[in-house]
Structure 1
Amino acid sequence: MKPGKSAVFATLFSLAALPAVSTAAAPAPANCKATVYLSFDTGSQSQAGLIADTLRRHRIKATFFLANEKTVNGDYSLDQTWAPYWKQLVQDGHAFGTHTFDHVYLSRDLPDGRIEVKPQFGAQAGKKLVWTAQQYCDELRRVDQRFTQLTGSKLDPYWRAPGGKLSPNLQKAALACGYAHAGWAPAGFSGDELPSESWSNPALLKRALDGLKDGDIFMAHLGIWSRKTPWAPENLEPLLTGLEQKGFCFASLREHPLYSVKKHP
């Protein structure tokens, strides 16, 4: 996300709007005491390579939520230039969901069932728009269509609202076109969008290691514009190692009891 959005996430440690996602996981292998479901949203993409390489080294499958966001390379995360990256992640066996094509924030529900939204990117960036449920569905599907163009594969039937902000109209629209919303557990908020001056990487790491439990979904980004001390280079490796030492295993949402459904036909 662009600078200026990090303040939104300062309240996410106590989000009540997100659905509970810490339901106990399905039976894990005998050597696993618990399972955590790692997920990553697009962002500046500054840490995209590091994250993919780290997951590959640990043989971990995660879930990626894609929007067409501006990257540190000056392009966008769903440009053709990123096709090799997404193709490799497909080959690595990860799962993929839609994060809306233009990273569209919910503003509010309207009484007639429509939805007021505000795209962060694209031709309508920064403008308040009023969409029908079908228009929101079309926005979710734009990512699916683009992902197929880039990789030859389809998304899994998951979505994540930018900022985690949901509403009844929004959820109805997404469910009507076949997407289940995947939030994150309270301890699963990485904090990678919070100011590093007030939330240090060691503090965020300790919070995750102390708080994550069986079935939790963990959320981070593939790079954040606003955080001065990036989260992933310092925290990802010790997070994975620390959880592994505690007996945790990892899986994509394809294995989660709430999301283990087939891909779209």
Structure 2
Amino acid sequence: MRRAVEFALAAAAALWQPVQAAPACERPVYLTFDTGHMGVADLVADVLARHDVKVTFFLANEKTQDGGSSLDARWAAWWKARAAEGHAFGSHTWDHVVWQADVAAGLKARPTAGEQAGQTQVLDAADYCEQLRRPARWFTEATGQAMLPLFRAPAGRTSARLLEAARQCGFRHVGWAPAGFLGDELPSERFPNRLLRDTALRDIREGDILVAHLGIWSRKDPWAPAVLEPLIEGLKARGFCFRTLAEHPQYRDWITKHPLN
């Protein structure tokens, strides 16, 4: 009887042991996703959840395979679920506005989404600020959470004037490392998935920001999840760990000092 009581007490004590803290992330990389046609969004989410990887998503209201757009009511639940999982989020401009040149009146740009898709327009600083803030407002309404005060210019194209307009609006730009360009925008005929995977596993280094998309219209052999899962597994095997940009040393102070309301 005494031994039974001792066993029960030991079992109870084991149940009440403090939860072990997650191991420190000594070799972080920062995986990011820009919106796209969203055709692989569920597959990406499944892989990230299965491997307990947190990423940063950059949101634009792009055309989707289901006939809507990536920030319409049909996708609100998807974004809310990702927010609940602990991912981070930034702006990619509402209409996926690609900068072309600085002109006297402001920023010459061409959106690839929205009512003026494909039409060249000139935006002043206030116009560009609205392009940055509109995804943030939508995200907060859909999820109850705030975006990070970070953005990625579509195609990564910027100028000093554009960056200053964004800074005055409370946003800081995030690019990617040379090795962090994961190649999902490239033609699969010339850049097959195996090549992209092997190149990334060979070249990615500690601290790199990586970029991929939630679906690219032009790629015939989708990058995700075919490359995504073995890439995550391979990077972990090399001793890397994954963190969001909220923890990036280059952006932490900016995030703290410029919260989006």
TM-score (norm 2): 0.88
Residue 164 of structure 2 corresponds to residue 185 of structure 1: no
Residue 152 of structure 2 corresponds to residue 156 of structure 1: no
**CA spacing shift, 1:142–1:32, aligned 2, 3 Å:** closer
For residues 86-97 of structure 1, what are the structure 2 equivalents within 5 Å? 86-97=79-90
Q: What letter is aligned with 1:137?
A: C
Distance 1:60 1:67 in 2: 22
Which string of whole-angstrom CA distances, capped at 9 and with x for unpartnered residues, describes residues 220-242 of structure 1? 00111110000012101100000
> What RMSD in Å do the two structures reach over aligned CA positions?
1.3
Percent of residue pairs bearing the same amino acid type = 51
Compute the displacement of 1:93 (Å).
0.5
For residues 1-265 of structure 1, what are the structure 2 equivalents within 5 Å? 32-111=25-104, 114-260=106-252, 261-262=255-256, 263-265=259-261
The residue that corresponds to 1:9 in the other structure is none
Which string of whole-angstrom CA distances, capped at 9 and with x for unpartnered residues, describes residues 54-91 of structure 1? 11111111000000001111110000100110000100
Distance 2:26 2:166 in 1: 34
Residue pair 1:97, 1:155 contacting (<8 A) in 2 also: yes
Residue pair 1:184, 1:219 contacting (<8 A) in 2 also: yes
Which string of whole-angstrom CA distances, capped at 9 and with x for unpartnered residues, describes residues 170-226 of structure 1? 101111111110100000001001000000111111111011111100000011111
Compute the displacement of 1:31 (Å).
6.1
Q: What letter is aligned with 1:253?
A: L
* Higher RCO structure, 1 or 2 (CA under 8 Å, sep 6+): 1
Distance 1:146 1:94 in 2: 17
Compute the displacement of 1:30 (Å).
5.9
Residue pair 1:31, 1:247 contacting (<8 A) in 2 also: no
Residue pair 2:47, 2:225 contacting (<8 A) in 1 also: no
Q: Which has more radius of gyration?
A: 2
Aligned residues: 236
TM-score (norm 1): 0.86
* Greater CA drift, 146-155 or 190-199: 146-155
Name the SS of the counterpart of 1:64 in structure 2.
strand
Compute the displacement of 1:111 (Å).
3.7
Residue pair 2:96, 2:154 contacting (<8 A) in 1 also: yes
Name the SS of the counterpart of 1:97 in structure 2.
strand
Distance 2:190 2:26 in 1: 33
Q: Which runs of 4+ in 1 moved over 4 A?
A: 29-33
